[in-house]
Protein backbone atom coordinates (compact mmCIF):
# COMPACT_ATOMS: atom_id res chain seq x y z
CA UNK A 1 0.00 0.00 0.00
CA UNK A 2 3.04 2.23 -0.16
CA UNK A 3 2.09 3.28 -3.72
CA UNK A 4 -1.27 4.66 -2.48
CA UNK A 5 0.52 6.74 0.12
CA UNK A 6 2.95 7.92 -2.55
CA UNK A 7 0.06 8.81 -4.87
CA UNK A 8 -1.44 11.19 -2.32
CA UNK A 9 1.86 12.64 -1.07
CA UNK A 10 2.97 13.58 -4.57
CA UNK A 11 2.99 17.35 -3.95
CA UNK A 12 5.72 16.99 -1.33
CA UNK A 13 7.82 14.93 -3.75
CA UNK A 14 7.36 17.55 -6.48
CA UNK A 15 8.39 20.40 -4.20
CA UNK A 16 11.44 18.42 -3.01
CA UNK A 17 12.46 17.87 -6.64
CA UNK A 18 12.09 21.56 -7.49
CA UNK A 19 14.11 22.50 -4.41
CA UNK A 20 16.85 20.04 -5.40
CA UNK A 21 17.08 21.54 -8.89
CA UNK A 22 17.29 25.07 -7.45
CA UNK A 23 20.07 23.95 -5.09
CA UNK A 24 22.06 22.47 -8.02
CA UNK A 25 21.70 25.73 -9.95
CA UNK A 26 22.86 27.75 -6.95
CA UNK A 27 25.86 25.43 -6.49
CA UNK A 28 26.77 25.92 -10.15
CA UNK A 29 26.45 29.70 -9.76
CA UNK A 30 28.66 29.62 -6.68
CA UNK A 31 31.25 27.53 -8.59
CA UNK A 32 31.26 30.01 -11.47
CA UNK A 33 31.58 32.96 -9.11
CA UNK A 34 34.43 31.19 -7.27
CA UNK A 35 36.20 30.63 -10.60
CA UNK A 36 36.20 34.40 -11.26
CA UNK A 37 32.96 35.11 -13.12
CA UNK A 38 30.84 38.11 -12.14
CA UNK A 39 27.73 37.61 -9.98
CA UNK A 40 25.45 39.02 -12.74
CA UNK A 41 26.79 36.78 -15.52
CA UNK A 42 27.05 33.53 -13.48
CA UNK A 43 23.26 32.73 -13.31
CA UNK A 44 22.94 33.00 -17.11
CA UNK A 45 25.91 30.75 -17.75
CA UNK A 46 24.79 28.28 -15.06
CA UNK A 47 21.30 28.00 -16.61
CA UNK A 48 22.82 27.51 -20.05
CA UNK A 49 25.12 24.73 -18.81
CA UNK A 50 22.54 23.13 -16.56
CA UNK A 51 19.81 23.10 -19.21
CA UNK A 52 16.13 23.91 -19.08
CA UNK A 53 15.26 23.60 -15.37
CA UNK A 54 11.52 23.42 -16.07
CA UNK A 55 11.99 20.59 -18.55
CA UNK A 56 14.25 18.73 -16.11
CA UNK A 57 11.63 19.25 -13.40
CA UNK A 58 8.84 17.87 -15.63
CA UNK A 59 10.89 14.84 -16.68
CA UNK A 60 11.76 14.17 -13.06
CA UNK A 61 8.06 14.28 -12.13
CA UNK A 62 7.25 11.74 -14.84
CA UNK A 63 9.13 9.14 -12.79
CA UNK A 64 6.45 9.31 -10.08
CA UNK A 65 3.45 9.56 -12.37
CA UNK A 66 0.83 6.95 -13.21
CA UNK A 67 -0.92 8.55 -16.18
CA UNK A 68 -3.94 6.25 -16.25
CA UNK A 69 -4.74 6.68 -12.56
CA UNK A 70 -3.97 10.39 -12.48
CA UNK A 71 -6.02 11.13 -15.62
CA UNK A 72 -8.92 9.13 -14.19
CA UNK A 73 -8.74 11.02 -10.88
CA UNK A 74 -8.59 14.37 -12.70
CA UNK A 75 -11.64 13.41 -14.78
CA UNK A 76 -13.55 12.35 -11.66
CA UNK A 77 -12.71 15.63 -9.90
CA UNK A 78 -13.77 17.63 -12.95
CA UNK A 79 -17.03 15.68 -13.22
CA UNK A 80 -17.80 16.20 -9.53
CA UNK A 81 -17.14 19.95 -9.85
CA UNK A 82 -19.50 20.14 -12.83
CA UNK A 83 -22.20 18.18 -11.01
CA UNK A 84 -21.87 20.46 -7.96
CA UNK A 85 -22.44 23.51 -10.17
CA UNK A 86 -25.78 22.23 -11.51
CA UNK A 87 -27.87 20.43 -8.89
CA UNK A 88 -30.77 19.78 -11.30
CA UNK A 89 -28.54 17.88 -13.69
CA UNK A 90 -27.01 16.05 -10.74
CA UNK A 91 -30.46 14.87 -9.63
CA UNK A 92 -31.27 13.64 -13.16
CA UNK A 93 -27.91 11.83 -13.43
CA UNK A 94 -28.28 10.15 -10.02
CA UNK A 95 -31.88 9.14 -10.77
CA UNK A 96 -30.90 7.75 -14.18
CA UNK A 97 -28.06 5.75 -12.68
CA UNK A 98 -30.30 4.42 -9.90
CA UNK A 99 -33.00 3.34 -12.37
CA UNK A 100 -30.46 1.76 -14.73
CA UNK A 101 -28.68 -0.15 -11.98
CA UNK A 102 -31.98 -1.23 -10.43
CA UNK A 103 -33.39 -2.43 -13.77
CA UNK A 104 -30.23 -4.36 -14.59
CA UNK A 105 -30.21 -5.95 -11.14
CA UNK A 106 -33.85 -7.01 -11.48
CA UNK A 107 -33.35 -8.47 -14.95
CA UNK A 108 -30.20 -10.35 -13.94
CA UNK A 109 -31.91 -11.71 -10.82
CA UNK A 110 -34.80 -12.96 -12.94
CA UNK A 111 -32.53 -14.52 -15.58
CA UNK A 112 -30.35 -16.06 -12.90
CA UNK A 113 -33.36 -17.68 -11.23
CA UNK A 114 -34.87 -18.95 -14.48
CA UNK A 115 -32.03 -19.67 -16.89
CA UNK A 116 -28.65 -19.77 -15.22
CA UNK A 117 -29.27 -21.86 -12.12
CA UNK A 118 -29.25 -25.63 -12.45
CA UNK A 119 -32.47 -27.52 -11.95
CA UNK A 120 -33.04 -28.62 -8.35
CA UNK A 121 -32.73 -32.33 -9.16
CA UNK A 122 -30.41 -34.97 -7.81
CA UNK A 123 -30.13 -36.76 -11.17
CA UNK A 124 -30.83 -34.32 -13.99
CA UNK A 125 -29.60 -36.87 -16.56
CA UNK A 126 -32.84 -38.79 -16.00
CA UNK A 127 -35.02 -36.03 -17.47
CA UNK A 128 -36.70 -36.91 -20.74
CA UNK A 129 -38.87 -35.18 -23.29
CA UNK A 130 -40.92 -36.89 -25.97
CA UNK A 131 -42.22 -34.90 -28.89
CA UNK A 132 -43.89 -35.66 -32.19
CA UNK A 133 -43.32 -33.90 -35.47
CA UNK A 134 -46.28 -32.68 -37.49
CA UNK A 135 -46.26 -32.87 -41.31
CA UNK A 136 -45.87 -29.07 -41.45
CA UNK A 137 -42.53 -29.34 -39.57
CA UNK A 138 -43.61 -28.14 -36.12
CA UNK A 139 -43.03 -30.19 -32.98
CA UNK A 140 -45.54 -30.91 -30.24
CA UNK A 141 -44.32 -31.94 -26.81
CA UNK A 142 -46.08 -35.11 -25.77
CA UNK A 143 -44.44 -35.75 -22.41
CA UNK A 144 -41.88 -34.12 -20.15
CA UNK A 145 -40.82 -35.69 -16.93
CA UNK A 146 -38.45 -37.93 -15.11
CA UNK A 147 -37.65 -41.27 -16.70
CA UNK A 148 -39.24 -44.17 -14.90
CA UNK A 149 -42.02 -42.16 -13.21
CA UNK A 150 -44.78 -42.80 -15.67
CA UNK A 151 -44.22 -46.29 -16.96
CA UNK A 152 -47.86 -46.50 -17.93
CA UNK A 153 -47.45 -44.02 -20.78
CA UNK A 154 -47.30 -45.89 -23.99
CA UNK A 155 -45.88 -44.30 -27.03
CA UNK A 156 -47.19 -45.50 -30.36
CA UNK A 157 -45.89 -43.95 -33.52
Would you list the DSSP string of 53-120? HHHHHHHHHHTT--HHHHHHHHHHHHHHHHHHH-HHHHHHHHHHHHHHHHHHHHHHHHHIIIIISPPS
Phi-psi region of 4 (alpha: psi -120 to 50; beta: other; left: phi over 0): alpha
| Mean predicted confidence (pLDDT) in 54-61 | 82
The confidence score (pLDDT) of residue 154 equals 43
Q: How confident is the model at residue 151 (pLDDT cuts 50, 70, 90)?
A: very low
* Predicted model pTM: 0.40
Specify the higher pLDDT residue, 10 or 6: 10
Domain assignments of the chain as residue spans, ordered by start: 2-65, 71-116
The confidence score (pLDDT) of residue 141 equals 66
The confidence score (pLDDT) of residue 153 equals 46
Q: How confident is the model at residue 144 (pLDDT cuts 50, 70, 90)?
A: low
The confidence score (pLDDT) of residue 152 equals 40
Interval 77-106: pLDDT, tens: 999 999 899 999 999 999 999 999 999 999
Amino acid sequence: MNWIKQLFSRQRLYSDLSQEIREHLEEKIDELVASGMSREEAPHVARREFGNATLIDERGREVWQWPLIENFLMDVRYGLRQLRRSPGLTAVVVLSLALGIGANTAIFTLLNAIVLRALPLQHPEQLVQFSEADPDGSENVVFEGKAGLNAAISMSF
